[in-house]
Amino acid sequence: MSNNYEMMYILRPDLSEEQVQEVSSKYKTMLQESGATDLQVQVRGKRHLAYPIQNFNDGIYIQVNYKADGSQIKAIERDMRLGETVIRYLTIKMDAEPAELETEIVPPSEPAAAGA
């Protein structure tokens, strides 16, 4: 059974654009070879981190969306953990169909009475 996954990983900020392309194509190839389909890779660029990770204050964000059976996750995350270019990663399983937001208009509450 094929599920939708979203993987976000953060690369070291001192990598060149060529190195960033090499790493992103490496992980894209790993996913394709293990049977993932509908791959979408987006390089989000260098951003400031909320807190330092491995003494880095910035990181290069890359987002990958794909369909797979889930067997790919363990191997790719192991490679990210053991490599030196990825400083943080996260893979989440997405819902099959995006949930529609139900909006409800709530009237503002009445101001409290001064003497109560």
Assign 35 to helix, strand or coil: coil
Q: What is the CATH number of domain 3-94?
A: 3.30.70.60
- The pTM of the full predicted model, rounded to 2 decimals, is 0.78
pLDDT interval class at 7 (50, 70, 90):
very high
Lowest-pLDDT range, 6-10, 63-67, 71-75? 71-75
Report DSSP letters for 43-107, one per residue. Answer: EEEEEEEEEEETTEEEEEEEEEEEEE-STHHHHHHHHHHHSSSEEEEEEEEEPSSPPPPPP---P
